[in-house]
Structure formats: structure tokens, C-alpha cells
Structure 1
Amino acid sequence: MSGGAAAPSTAITIGEPSADAAARAPAAPSAPPAPAQKARFAIFRRTKDGAGWKRGLAFFGFILRIFAFGAALTAAIVMGTTDETLPFFTHYYQFHAEFSDLPALLFFVVGNAIAAGHLVFSLPLSIITICRPQAVGPWLLLLISDTVMVALTAAAASAAAAIVALAHSGSEKANWVAICLRFDGFCQQISGAVVVSFVAVVLLMVLVVISALAMRKR
């Protein structure tokens, strides 16, 4: 047999793909962006254990505590600076009115000053209730101390209100004249201090209610 021409062989190259093939290859899909994490201490965020609404109460109570401090401090300062001297006087008497002349007004200043100090020192405890609304201890301390302050400020404001009413209208049966007929500036200042003090009493009562609600299990 005679040998024929050998058939051409096909060479297959095994190796890395060419640059053109790599360019034609589809790009790998990019990973989706990670969802943004929610704030850990969202104020009114709903949680299974009910901590969200308690944190909201704690934040609201913190704001009210600042306003109550301002009201109690303002009442104490306004009453403590009340002083008026009439421009006319006799050879033996000089007509002068000051808050310290009446024990009820002095008690008013002391009571509101104590309440203002309590509200300042209770702010860190109020911050703890915002961070840990489920903790019962801070809420209980705030409930007890705020209740005591409600009683103190209410007693001080009521005693001063009685003096203010007597100064404005006097008492015919006791033969006490209305000093506001002469000491107009003095009466206006102590009246304003009593009104502001009652505002502090109302805010403290709201704080007591907030603490009582937050101590509920649900």
C-alpha cells in the first residue's frame, strides 16, 4: 500500500484566556448594599418588651423636669428679691415691706429652692431612665422624691397664696388692712412668684404620673 499525504492536525492550546475573551466575559453581579442599621436608642421605637414607649415617657419627663426646675428657681428668686420701701415716712416710722417679714413667704422661698435643687440632682437619674427604661430602681426613686417635692412645693405655694390674698383684700373681722393699697410693687411681685410656683407644682405632679406609668409591667 502506498502512503498518502498526512491529514493536517489541529492544535488545541490550553492556558489562560486571552484579553479579548476576558473583556467579553460578563461582569460578576455586585453584592447588594447592606441595610442601614436602625438607631439603638430610638425614642419611640416599638419593641417586644415595651421599652419604646417607656423611653418616650422618660424623654418627655426629662424635658418637663428642666421646665419644672426653671419654674421653681424663678419663684424662689422672685420672692427672695421682693423688697419695697415707701417714699414717705414719719419721724419715727419708715414704711418698708420685705418677704422675710412674713414666715410664710420665707417658707415659700426655702421650699421652692429645695425643689429646684432636687430637680437639678435628679437629671442624671432621669437620663438613666432614658438609657435603661426597663430598670425599676431609677423610676422608683424618682417617684418617691418627686412626690415629696409635690407636697413641699404645694404647701409652700398655698401658704404664700393665703398671705397674698390677705395682703390684697385684708380682713375686716381681724382688723387687718390691705397692704397692697400702699405696697403695690411688693404685692405684684409676690403674686407672680406664687403663680410660677403653682406651675412648678403642676409639672411635678405630671412627673409623678409619668414615673407611675413607667413602672407598669406592660
Structure 2
Amino acid sequence: MAATVEDGGGKTAPTPPPPAKPLCGELVLRLLLFAVSLSALVVLVTAKQTEVVPVVLAPQLVFAPVAAQFKDSPALIYLLVALCATTLYSLLTAGSSVKSRGSSCAKRVFVLILLDVVYAGIMASATGAAGAVAWVGLKGNDHTRWNKICNVYDKFCRHIGSATALGLVASILLVLLAGLNAYSLYRRSR
């Protein structure tokens, strides 16, 4: 039911809707999410280094160039896919925020909360998997005889560590966005 306002002649006219408030905080967080996830994506894709290392061939030890690439680990490929999806999602939702200009309905906000939580979960799991691989690369595992590789492939490890840290930041931004939208929906219900 629309509110009415009496004008000077005793007639009632519908109250104009309040001006739409720009969702500045949400838009800034979505643009920051885009920048962080795109940066992590670029850093991860450029993670490649070739070094000459000893390779054991049946009768002898030979030194050969061996490349370390992000494509060599399924966990890093998972991080790549999660970052691609998050980058696209952040770009689409930032555009949606600009298009709606703060006059979004409760249904849209609810859907954004759900999607933000889903993407936060995907990013958190991908970051955890990549972090585990990065830790083994950094420290090795004596019990399983997995040698550390970061003492040889230092540039590669810096790229993987940076991409993993940026993935963690993207996860935190998605949680903040979900909380911001949940608060917005809560405020509307009061």
C-alpha cells in the first residue's frame, strides 16, 4: 500500500519513492574482489620455472632441465578454475549492482547472499588445497619421502604462495559480501 501526502487543496497524492541509495560498499567490495581474483589468476598462470636438476635414469644419474608448472598439480588447477569462476562472478555481480543502483529487491539480495556463500566455499576449499600443495613444496614430507622443491624452484613457489594468499583474500571478501547483504536484508525486514 503506497503512502499518500495531502497537498494544499485537500487532494492526496502518492508519496514519491525515496531516492535509491547507491550500494557503494557492496560495489567497492565486488570491484576489489574482481581485482584480487584477477591478480591471483594472472600470478597463478605465470607460475612456471625450469631448472637443471639431477634425474635418476636406470644405470646412472643425469642432470636435465625439468619444468615446474601449475598444470602439474590438480590442486593448483582447481585453484585456477575457482579463480576463473570467481573473477567472472565478481564482474557480473558488480555490473548487476551498478545496474540496480541500490533499488534491488529482497529476492535479489537473498540470491546474492546464497551465491556469495557458495563462491566463498569454493574459494576456501581451492585455497586450502593449493595451500597444502604449497606447504609440501616448501617443507616436504619426510614420512612419505616427498622432497621439498622450493629450495630449487624459488620463483615458482613464490608465485604459488602469492596466488594462494590472494585466493584467501578473495574468500574473505566473499564472506564480507555475504555478511553485508545479510545485514541489508535484515535491515529491510525491520
TM-score normalised over the length of structure 2: 0.80
Instruction: Pick the structure with greater CA Rg.
Output: 1
1:110 aligns with 2:81: yes
Q: Secondary structure in 1 aligned to 2:141?
A: coil
1:203 corresponds to which residue?
173
Aligned counterpart, 1:80 = 45
- Of 101, 104, 107, the residue aligned with 2:72 is 101
User: Does the CA-based 8 Å contact 1:62-1:127 persist in structure 2?
Assistant: yes
CA distance in 1, matches of 2:42, 2:81: 10
Residue from 107, 114, 128 that aligns with 1:137 = 107
State the partner residue of 2:92: 121
Gaps of 5+ in 2: 1-17, 56-61
User: In the aligned structure 1, how far is the partner of 2:33 from the partner of 2:94?
Assistant: 11
How far has the Cα of 1:204 moved from its partner? 0.7
1:68/1:200 contact within 8 Å kept: yes
Partner of residue 158, structure 2 = 188
Deviations 1:13-36 (A, max 9, x none): xxxxxxxxxxxxxxxxxxxxxxxx
CA distance, structure 2, for counterparts of residue 116 and residue 98 of structure 1: 22
Specify which structure has the higher proportion of strand: 2
User: Deviation above 4 Å: which 4+ runs of structure 1?
Assistant: 87-92
Kept after mapping to 2: 8 A contact 1:129/1:138: no
Mean CA deviation greater in 115-124 or 158-167: 115-124
Matched, 1:167 2:132: no
1:60-115 deviations in Å (ceiling 9; x for gaps): 01100000111111111111111000156775742210000011001111111101
**How far off its partner does 1:185 sit?**
0.7
Matched residues in 2 for 1:122 and 1:69: separation?
10
Aligned partners of 1:69 and 1:137: how far apart in 2? 23
Structure-to-structure mapping, 1:149-164, within 5 angstroms? 149-164=119-134
Match of 1:15 in 2: none
Relative to the length of structure 1, the TM-score reads 0.70
Structure 1 spans left out of the alignment, 5+ residues: 1-39, 44-54
Match for 2:38: what amino acid? L
Q: Secondary structure at the match of 2:126?
A: helix
Question: How many residues end up aligned between the 2 structures?
Answer: 165
Q: The residue matched to 2:146 in structure 1 has which SS?
A: coil
Q: Deviations over 1:39-71 (max 9, x none)?
A: x6474xxxxxxxxxxx5xx32011000001111
**Secondary structure, aligned partner of 1:95:** strand
Contact 2:20 2:101 in 1 (8 A): no
Tell me the residue number matched to 2:32: 67
Amino acid corresponding to residue 171 of structure 1 in structure 2: N
1-structure distance, mates of 2:26, 2:102:
13
Residues 129, 143 of structure 1: CA spacing in aligned structure 2 closer, same or farther, 3 A cutoff?
farther
Give SS of 2:150's match: helix
Give the RMSD, CA atoms, in angstroms: 1.9
